[in-house]
Chain A
Amino acid sequence: MNHCPSHEPTKIAALPSAVPAGKEYWRSLDELSDKPEFREWLEREFPNQASEWLGGTVSRRRALQLMAASLGLAGLAGCRRPDYPTLPYTKTPETVLPGLPTSYATTIPRPGSAFPVLVETQEGRPTKIEGNPLHPWSQGATDLQAQAAVLDLYDPDRSREVMRTRQPSTWQAFDAFAETHMSGLFARRGQGLHFLSEDVSSPALRLLREHVRQVLPEAVWHAHEAIGSENVEQGAVLAFGKPLTPTYRFQNADVIVSLGSDFLGVEDGAVANTRAFAERRKVEDSLALMNRLYVVENHPTTTGGVADHRLRLPALQVQEYLLALARELLLRTRQDQGSGNSSSQLANTLVGVGTPVVLPPSWVREVATDLLAARGRSLILAGRQQPPLVHALAHLLNAELGNLGNTVLLRERPEARIKSLGELTESMRRGEVGTLVVLGSNPVYDAPSDLEFGVVLQRVPHTIQLGLYADETSAACAWHLPMAHFFECWGDAETADGTYSPVQPLIVPLLGGRSALEVVARLCRYETTEPYEIVQRSFRRRTDLGTEAFRQFLHDGVLHDSAWPIVNAAPDWAALTRAVEEVQKRTADVGPNNLELSFHADRRLLDGRFANNGWLQETPDPLTKLTWDNAAMLSPATAKLLGVHTGDMLELTLAGRALQAPAYVLPGQADYSITLPLGYGRTHAGRVGNGVGCNPYKLRTTASLNMGVGVQLRKTGLTYRLACTQDHGSMQGRDLVRSLSLQEYRDLPAPQESADSHSLPLYTSAALDGQHQWGMVIDLNQCTGCSACVVACQSENNIPIVGKDEVLRGREMHWIRVDRYFTGSANDPGVAHQPVACVHCENAPCETVCPVNAAVHSPEGLNLQVYNRCIGTRYCANNCPYKVRHFNWFDYNQRPLDQLLAGPLAEKGMPELLQMQKNPDVTVRMRGVMEKCTYCVQRIERGKTGARLEAAGSAAYSIPDGTVVPACAQACPAQAIIFGDLSDPNSRVAQTKHRTRNYELLGELGTRPRTSYQGRVLNPNPRLAATEVVEETDG
Chain B
Amino acid sequence: MNLSIVEPRLDGQQNPHSRMTEGLEYHRLTEQICGIVERPVPRWWLPAFLTSLAIASGALFAATYLISTGVGVWGENQPVGWAFDITNFVFWVGIGHAGTLISAILFLLRQKWRTSINRFAEAMTLFAVACAGVYPLIHIGRVWMSWFLAPVPNANAIWPNFRSPLLWDVFAVSTYATVSLLFWYVGMIPDLASLRDRAVTRPRQVIYGILALGWRGSGRHWHHYEIAYLLLAGLATPLVVSVHTIVSFDFATSVIPGWHTTIFPPYFVAGAIFSGFAMVITLMIPARELYGLKDLVTDRHLDKMAKVLLATSLMVGYAYSVELFTAWYSANLYERFAFQNRLFGPLAWGYAIMVLCNVAIPQLLWLKRVRESVWVLFVISVLVNVGMWFERFVIIVSSLERDFLPSSWGRFIPTWVDLLQMLGVFGLFFSLMLLFLRFLPMVALSEVKAILPHPSHFKAGHTANESVQAVSRAKEVQAS
Hey, which bits of chain A sit against chain B, CB under 8 A? 726-734, 736, 762-763, 806, 809-812, 817, 819-821, 834, 836, 845, 848-853, 869-875, 877-879, 881-883, 885-891, 900-904, 906, 926-930, 1002, 1005, 1007
Closest to A820 in B: B407
**Cα distance A1007–B256 when bound, in Å?**
13
Instruction: Evaluate contact between A849 and B404: CB separation under 8 angstroms.
Output: no
Instruction: Evaluate contact between A874 and B405: CB separation under 8 angstroms.
Output: no
Nearest 9 CB-CB pairings of A with B: A872-B141, A928-B141, A889-B72, A874-B81, A810-B77, A819-B407, A883-B408, A904-B68, A890-B70
Please, which residues of chain B bring their CB within 8 A of the CB of A817? 407
B409 within 8 A of A: yes
Q: Identify the stretch in B121-129, B163-171, B359-367, B444-452 within 8 Å (CB) of chain A at 4 or more residues.
A: B163-171
Contact of A887 among B141, B407, B411, B413 (CB under 8 A): B141
Contact of A732 among B69, B161, B166, B337 (CB under 8 A): B337
State whether A810 and B141 are in contact (beta carbons under 8 Å apart), knowing that A849-B166, A850-B164, A851-B160 are contacts in the complex: no
State whether A848 and B140 are in contact (beta carbons under 8 Å apart), knowing that A878-B81, A879-B256, A887-B71 are contacts in the complex: no
Identify which of residues 57-102 in chain B touch chain A, using a CB-to-CB cut-off of 8 Å.
Answer: 65, 68-73, 75-82
State whether A849 and B164 are in contact (beta carbons under 8 Å apart), knowing that A879-B256, A881-B405 are contacts in the complex: yes
Instruction: Evaluate contact between A927 and B70: CB separation under 8 angstroms.
Output: yes
**Cα distance A903–B66 when bound, in Å?**
8
Q: Identify the stretch in B144-152, B265-273, B419-427 within 8 Å (CB) of chain A at 4 or more residues.
A: B144-152
Closest to A812 in B: B78
Contact of B142 among A809, A900, A906, A929 (CB under 8 A): A929
Instruction: Evaluate contact between B405 and A871: CB separation under 8 angstroms.
Output: no
State whether A889 and B71 are in contact (beta carbons under 8 Å apart), knowing that A820-B407, A878-B81 are contacts in the complex: yes
B439 within 8 A of A: no
Instruction: Evaluate contact between B69 and A882: CB separation under 8 angstroms.
Output: no
Most chain A C-beta atoms within 10 Å of own C-beta, residue among B68, B255, B334, B400: B255
Instruction: Evaluate contact between A883 and B79: CB separation under 8 angstroms.
Output: yes
Q: What's the nearest-Cβ distance from chain B to residue A785, in Å?
A: 12
State whether A728 and B78 are in contact (beta carbons under 8 Å apart), knowing that A871-B141, A871-B148 are contacts in the complex: no
Please, which residues of chain A bring their CB within 8 A of the CB of B409? 727-728
Please, which residues of chain B bring their CB within 8 A of the CB of A732? 337, 406
A-B contact pairs, 26 of them (CB 8 A): A732-B337, A762-B253, A763-B163, A810-B77, A810-B410, A811-B77, A819-B407, A850-B166, A851-B148, A851-B149, A852-B149, A853-B159, A869-B158, A872-B71, A872-B142, A874-B81, A875-B81, A878-B79, A878-B81, A878-B254, A883-B403, A889-B70, A889-B77, A906-B69, A928-B142, A1002-B405
B333 within 8 A of A: yes
Instruction: Evaluate contact between A890 and B405: CB separation under 8 angstroms.
Output: no
Instruction: Evaluate contact between B70 and A891: CB separation under 8 angstroms.
Output: yes
Closest to B75 in A: A809
State whether A836 and B405 are in contact (beta carbons under 8 Å apart), knowing that A849-B166, A878-B256 are contacts in the complex: yes
Instruction: Evaluate contact between B405 and A811: CB separation under 8 angstroms.
Output: no
Closest to B73 in A: A901
State whether A810 and B72 are in contact (beta carbons under 8 Å apart), knowing that A732-B337, A845-B254 are contacts in the complex: no
Q: What's the nearest-Cβ distance from chain B to residue A382, in Å?
A: 33
Contact of A809 among B77, B140, B163, B333 (CB under 8 A): B77
Please, which residues of chain B bring their CB within 8 A of the CB of A930? 141
Please, which residues of chain B bring their CB within 8 A of the CB of A734? 333-334, 404, 406
Please, which residues of chain A bring their CB within 8 A of the CB of B82? 874-875, 878
Most chain A C-beta atoms within 10 Å of own C-beta, residue among B69, B139, B159, B165: B69
**Cα distance A981–B392 when bound, in Å?**
44
Instruction: Evaluate contact between A1002 and B73: CB separation under 8 angstroms.
Output: no
Closest to A879 in B: B254
Instruction: Evaluate contact between A881 and B165: CB separation under 8 angstroms.
Output: no
Instruction: Evaluate contact between B70 and A888: CB separation under 8 angstroms.
Output: yes
Contact of B68 among A762, A819, A852, A903 (CB under 8 A): A903
**Cα distance A731–B337 when bound, in Å?**
12
State whether A853 and B160 are in contact (beta carbons under 8 Å apart), knowing that A872-B142, A887-B81 are contacts in the complex: yes
Instruction: Evaluate contact between B149 and A871: CB separation under 8 angstroms.
Output: yes
Please, which residues of chain A bring their CB within 8 A of the CB of B405? 736, 819, 836, 881-883, 1002
Instruction: Evaluate contact between B255 and A873: CB separation under 8 angstroms.
Output: no
Identify which of residues 3-57 in chain B touch chain A, using a CB-to-CB cut-off of 8 Å.
Answer: none
Q: What's the nearest-Cβ distance from chain B to residue A662, in Å?
A: 19
Please, which residues of chain B bring their CB within 8 A of the CB of A806? 72
Contact of A849 among B75, B160, B165, B400 (CB under 8 A): B165
State whether A1002 and B69 are in contact (beta carbons under 8 Å apart), knowing that A852-B160, A871-B146, A872-B141 are contacts in the complex: no
Please, which residues of chain A bring their CB within 8 A of the CB of B81? 874-875, 877-878, 887
Closest to B142 in A: A928
Instruction: Evaluate contact between B404 and A882: CB separation under 8 angstroms.
Output: yes
Instruction: Evaluate contact between A848 and B164: CB separation under 8 angstroms.
Output: yes
**Cα distance A928–B70 when bound, in Å?**
7
Closest to A733 in B: B333
Most chain B C-beta atoms within 10 Å of own C-beta, residue among A879, A886, A887, A926: A879
Q: What's the nearest-Cβ distance from chain A to residue B149, in Å?
A: 6
Please, which residues of chain A bring their CB within 8 A of the CB of B139? 873-874
Please, which residues of chain B bring their CB within 8 A of the CB of A890? 69-70, 72
For the A-B complex with A736-B407, A901-B73, A927-B70 known, give 19 more contacts whose Cβ atoms are closer than 8 Å.
A732-B406, A819-B407, A820-B407, A845-B255, A851-B160, A852-B158, A871-B149, A872-B71, A873-B141, A873-B166, A878-B81, A881-B255, A887-B141, A888-B70, A890-B69, A904-B69, A927-B71, A929-B141, A1002-B405
Q: What's the nearest-Cβ distance from chain A to residue B130, in Å?
A: 20
Please, which residues of chain A bring their CB within 8 A of the CB of B158? 852-853, 869
Q: What's the nearest-Cβ distance from chain B to residue A867, in Å?
A: 10
**Cα distance A873–B163 when bound, in Å?**
15
Instruction: Evaluate contact between B73 and A810: CB separation under 8 angstroms.
Output: no
Closest to A732 in B: B406
**Cα distance A853–B337 when bound, in Å?**
32
Closest to A889 in B: B72
**Cα distance A853–B69 when bound, in Å?**
25
Instruction: Evaluate contact between B159 and A836: CB separation under 8 angstroms.
Output: no
**Cα distance A901–B164 when bound, in Å?**
32
Q: What's the nearest-Cβ distance from chain B to residue A386, in Å?
A: 33
Q: What's the nearest-Cβ distance from chain A to residue B239, in Å?
A: 20
Identify which of residues 357-390 in chain B touch chain A, using a CB-to-CB cut-off of 8 Å.
Answer: none
**Cα distance A926–B144 when bound, in Å?**
13
**Cα distance A811–B411 when bound, in Å?**
11
**Cα distance A902–B80 when bound, in Å?**
23
Q: What's the nearest-Cβ distance from chain B to residue A415, in Å?
A: 47
Closest to A872 in B: B141
State whether A836 and B407 are in contact (beta carbons under 8 Å apart), knowing that A881-B255, A928-B71 are contacts in the complex: yes
**Cα distance A268–B129 when bound, in Å?**
64
Instruction: Evaluate contact between B407 and A878: CB separation under 8 angstroms.
Output: no
Q: What's the nearest-Cβ distance from chain A to residue B401, in Å?
A: 10
Closest to A852 in B: B148
**Cα distance A1005–B257 when bound, in Å?**
11
**Cα distance A914–B72 when bound, in Å?**
23
Contact of B65 among A810, A845, A903 (CB under 8 A): A903
Contact with A along B251-294 (1 / 0, CB 8 A): 00111100000000000000000000000000000000000000
**Cα distance A888–B253 when bound, in Å?**
25
Please, which residues of chain B bring their CB within 8 A of the CB of A877? 78-79, 81
Closest to B413 in A: A809
Instruction: Evaluate contact between A810 and B78: CB separation under 8 angstroms.
Output: yes
Closest to A882 in B: B405
**Cα distance A727–B75 when bound, in Å?**
18
Contact of A851 among B77, B141, B166, B407 (CB under 8 A): B166
Q: What's the nearest-Cβ distance from chain B to residue A1004, in Å?
A: 9
**Cα distance A974–B69 when bound, in Å?**
42
Closest to B254 in A: A879
Q: What's the nearest-Cβ distance from chain A to residue B424, in Å?
A: 17
**Cα distance A850–B404 when bound, in Å?**
20
Closest to A809 in B: B77
Q: What's the nearest-Cβ distance from chain B to residue A879, in Å?
A: 5
**Cα distance A730–B76 when bound, in Å?**
24
**Cα distance A726–B253 when bound, in Å?**
28
